[in-house]
Amino acid sequence: MKQVANKTGYGLFKTGARRKVYHYRITGLVFLLLVIFTLPAAAQEGENATEKREFTHSLGVGAGFTTGVGLSYRYLPDQFGFQTTFAPLIVDEYESLISFGFSFLYKIFETGNTNFYLYQGNHFLYDKWKKESSPYMEDESEVDIRVHNGLGLGFELIFLDNIGSNLMVGYAARDNFSSLGLTGELAIYYKF
């Protein structure tokens, strides 16, 4: 009797509950890298703390439940601005993860090296993974579309003349408004 290999359970996101574990691991890794690379450089800053810097545009990476995960662009000319974050991760026709975040920003006040602002984040998450099936059936995919929405307070520390490290904390409605709770967001930007 010939044994047929099971095609389920391989790929980037695996199947079932394991795909969520991979999403949280990726988000956790981005958070950890942001903290590791921003804290030592921020500790060295302090010489030009009274100088006010004018930056309108920012490019970088961010990770958060309500602001999105991936590459990020921020435009904050005066008091009002926006931030967008995007990460497409497409493995094949059966497995993909697309994160898109769009946030509104309101600058409360700024000093030489710090900015304090309010944010309202909107995160759209499209997750497609291979459905568990028998080896004799055609491959199929399941799709999960989630929206996370939140608001809170943000803090930005500018160091090395034009690098900004951002920490945002707030309250969020997750998973299509099915659960409420605290949220945290991190980002690091090159400011120009």
What does the pLDDT average to over 163-191? 95
Cα within 13 Å of Cα(169), Cβ side: 2
Candidates 108, 104, 130, 127; CA nearest to 117 is 108
Q: Provide the pLDDT for residue 164.
A: 94
3-41 pLDDT, tens digit each: 444 444 434 444 555 556 556 666 666 666 666 655 555
pLDDT for residue 95: 85
- Among residues 24, 122, 32, 27, which one has the least CA distance to residue 69? 27
- The pLDDT value given to residue 57: 97
For residues 81 and 64, give the distance between their C-alpha atoms in angstroms, rounded to a whole number: 18
Q: What are phi and psi of 18, to 5 degrees?
A: -65, -30
* pLDDT at residue 37, as a whole number: 58
Angle, vertex CA 57, rays to CA 123 and CA 185, nearest 5: 35
